Amino acid sequence: MINFVMPDLYPASAEIFILVMACVLLLVDLFAGSGRRWLVYLLTQLTLAGCFGITLATLDGQSVTTFSNMFVDDLFADFLKLVLYPTVAVMLVYSRQYLAARNLDKGEFFVLVLFATLGMMVMISASHFLTIYLGLEMLALSLYALVAIDRDSARATEAAMKYFVLGAMASGLLLYGISMVYGAVGSLEIAEVGQRIALGGGNKTVLVFGLVFVVAGLAFKLGVVPFHMWIPDVYHGAPTAVTLFIGSAPKLAAFAIAMRVLVTGLAELAEHWQVMLMILSALSIALGNLAAIAQTNLKRMLAYSAISHMGFMLLGLLAGIVGGDPRFALNAYSSAMFYVIAYVLMSLGSFGMILLLSRAGFEAENIEDFKGLNKRSPWFAAIMMILMFSMAGVPFFVGFFAKFAVLQAVVAAKQIWLAVFAVMFSLVGAFYYLRVVKVMYFDAPTDSASIEAPRDMRLLLSVNGLAVAVLGLLPEGVLEYSIYASYAFLVGQ
């Protein structure tokens, strides 16, 4: 007779709530009809607000595992989720007018967004390799459908096909790596894997081979070189609202699983994965910045920019353990967390500006579409300038402080050459960001149409841009929370 032990559902209450609400949305959309699409949008926003409230209510600083140690609710997960919910909510506000103008604001869009968000939440709280894979596939399958949601666009369909094929290959690599780790140590529970490796268990050769495939799978999800092939095509081909989603929230989940797998599970193999991350980050920073210079399409430029930014984030991850000494871990991992949060904030604003200037039958996705924006709207030209300066790492915006935090962690880890390399290519990257500013302020406008956008979008985009500026001057709050969450993560291992 099998004794079934009922798992504790309380730590996963936010995930259960969003799953139930996604199913409710399917029914509401079925009966509401096309005339009441605002109802589905409103329910989606209320669902995200509910998840935020539930996560806050269950935030007690304790690390609790459930579902046979496959799911963990800790401060690290809660902090990232509290950043995730507003990110998705802001994306929906920015996207609403764009979707309505193209008849894409259907129930399935919002349901897929909620399922993708659920996948990210599962990834963030995963303490087992199978849970990671489950969350990853839930996110990936939702994103494949979202990229192809404009069924009349051949470009979107092509992008979705490329994403699906390459994503399936990356999932295969990750699964193969997980199977090799399991074969070596006999467990898939991340903390247990780390303990068994620390006690000398497992075949070291098999573990290293498994590590290579796991890192390759993670690198694809982060979109770093040489697993970056999908990023420019998917960013360019997908509807801009979907590009905004792909370019922001999933980076938080990818950072979380990188931390859980590499730092908790495979810390004893740090000498191997650090070298891999060093190569991935150096190639990403170099190729991302050089390829972005040649782009005339702003979405493709931001895609290559994302590759270089994820390379920067990896610098923080690889600087945590030096020669087996974990003294630098808190400084390095909190810097990487701060960097990924800052990048999500900048990415939201940048793609939000593209959505602001787009209208029915017109995609403002080329750099020349921003010509003379200062004459059309001085305020939003200033917001875009703040975002571009921050992306370039110009003082004193949040992007500068995020880069500075990561670089000082790399220098503290005695990787001086890597810090110099990153700074040099950041200077190269400044060119293509400043080109957008030059076009806005010094070129004559080619489009004289007035900028029409809902008041909530204008307000939120303004707050987004100002937050990038204010957090550059006063980053202590977010940085302290990043340090606190990273400390709780390291202590709770």
Which of 256, 249, 138, 273 is CA-nearest to residue 197? Answer: 273
pLDDT tier at 493 (50, 70, 90 boundaries)? low
**Token code pair at residue 158:** 């092509």
Backbone dihedral region of 162: left (phi > 0), alpha (psi from -120 to 50 degrees) or beta? Answer: alpha
% residues pLDDT > 70 (the chain) = 97
Task: Report the sign of the C-alpha dihedral through residues 452, 454, 456, 457, in that order.
Answer: negative
Estimate the crossing angle of helix 329-357 against helix 378-392, to 10 degrees.
150
The three-state secondary structure class of 9 is coil
The three-state secondary structure class of 64 is strand
- 349/7: higher pLDDT: 349
Residue 3, φ and ψ in degrees, nearest 5: -90, 105
Q: Write down the pLDDT at residue 201.
A: 76
Q: Write down the pLDDT at residue 62.
A: 82
Number of neighbouring beta carbons within 10 Å of residue 250: 25
Q: Write down the pLDDT at residue 341.
A: 95
For residue range 192-213, list pLDDT tens digits in order: 998 999 888 778 889 999 999 9
For residue range 147-186, list pLDDT tens digits in order: 999 888 889 999 999 999 999 999 999 999 999 999 999 8
pLDDT tier at 252 (50, 70, 90 boundaries)? very high
pTM to 2 decimal places: 0.94
Enter the DSSP assignment of 145: H
Domains of the chain, by residue range, sit at: 10-491
**Token code pair at residue 429:** 């990257």
Between vectors from CA 132 to CA 130 and to CA 134, what angle results, nearest 5°? 70
Which of 119, 108, 88, 91 is CA-nearest to residue 151? Answer: 108
Distance, in Å, from the CA atom of 233 to the CA atom of 255, rounded to the nearest integer, reads 22
Distance, in Å, from the CA atom of 459 to the CA atom of 85, rounded to the nearest integer, reads 19
Sequence-distant contacts of 431-436: CB under 8 A, at least 24 apart: 431/293, 432/289, 432/292, 432/293, 432/295, 432/301, 432/305, 433/305, 433/388, 433/389, 433/391, 433/392, 434/388, 434/392, 435/367, 436/298, 436/367, 436/370, 436/384, 436/388
Question: Quick check: 340 and 314 in contact, CB under 8 A?
Answer: no
% residues pLDDT > 90 (the chain) = 62
Which of 126, 157, 115 is CA-nearest to residue 23? Answer: 115
The three-state secondary structure class of 125 is coil
For residue range 254-304, list pLDDT tens digits in order: 999 999 999 988 888 888 899 999 999 999 999 999 999 999 899 999 999
For residue range 325-384, list pLDDT tens digits in order: 677 788 899 999 999 999 999 999 999 999 998 876 678 888 898 888 888 888 999 999
**Token code pair at residue 154:** 């051949």
**Token code pair at residue 260:** 């859980």
The three-state secondary structure class of 71 is strand
Q: Write down the pLDDT at residue 454.
A: 83
Residue 176 CA, chain-centre distance (Å), reads 24
Which of 235, 244, 220, 242 is CA-nearest to residue 165? Answer: 220
Mean pLDDT score, 463-483: 91
Residue 453, Cβ density class (10 Å: 0-12 exposed, 13-18 middle, ≥19 buried): buried
Single-letter amino acid, residue 271:
E
Strands 64-66 vs 71-73: parallel, antiparallel or unpaired: antiparallel
pLDDT tier at 467 (50, 70, 90 boundaries)? very high
Q: Does residue 33 register a pLDDT over 80?
A: no
Least confident of 131-140, 219-228, 324-333: 324-333
Backbone dihedral region of 454: left (phi > 0), alpha (psi from -120 to 50 degrees) or beta? Answer: beta
The three-state secondary structure class of 290 is helix
In angstroms and rounded to an integer, the radius of gyration of the C-alpha atoms of the chain is 22
Mean pLDDT score, 16-29: 92
